[in-house]
């Protein structure tokens, strides 16, 4: 029963992270809290989209807010999420290294299997 609750929590947590704009928001908040206006300026997307993505992160308790007058500031609730993002970056980099290695191998195989063109001398000699 408790394992099921944990699995559901993990699934919902990762679902909340499963959007490029939300990841960008988290990356921006690594340096510290930002206002909604600052986030909108940095993200360069419509304010309704920013608000929607912030709401998802806030509702999953990933972000918390602070209000100063009419300005709302967002910050990470748990900085360990940055470690999770760092691990995701390392996994991505490992995939890139593997993909690059595979492409290099394919390139080498293609070079080995491509027939070499005859030299011009051999072509001229055959034409005589």
CA distance 38 to 28: 10
CA distance 86 to 76: 15
Let me know the angle formed at the C-alpha of 49 by 48 and 55, rounded to the nearest 5 degrees. Answer: 90
Q: Output the pTM of the full model.
A: 0.73
Percent of the chain at pLDDT > 70 equals 89
Q: Alpha helices, DSSP H only, in 18-79?
A: 20-29, 36-43, 47-59
The pLDDT confidence band at residue 5, using thresholds 50, 70 and 90, is: very high
pLDDT digits (tens, 9 = 90+) for 13-36: 999 999 999 999 999 999 999 999
The pLDDT confidence band at residue 126, using thresholds 50, 70 and 90, is: low
114 has a pLDDT exceeding 80: no
CA distance 63 to 79: 10
106 has a pLDDT exceeding 90: no
Sign of CA dihedral 74, 78, 80, 84: negative
């Amino acid at each position: 029963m408790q394992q099921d609750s944990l699995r559901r929590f993990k699934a919902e947590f990762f679902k909340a992270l499963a959007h490029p704009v939300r990841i960008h928001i988290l990356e921006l908040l690594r340096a510290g809290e930002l206002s909604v206006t600052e986030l909108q300026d940095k993200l360069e997307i419509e304010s309704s989209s920013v608000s929607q993505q912030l709401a998802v992160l806030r509702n999953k308790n990933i972000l918390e807010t602070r209000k100063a007058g009419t300005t709302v500031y967002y910050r990470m609730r748990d900085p360990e999420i940055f470690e999770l993002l760092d691990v995701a970056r390392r996994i991505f980099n490992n995939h890139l290294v593997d993909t690059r290695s595979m492409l290099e191998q394919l390139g080498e195989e293609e070079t080995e299997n491509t027939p070499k063109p005859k030299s011009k001398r051999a072509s001229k000699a055959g034409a005589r």
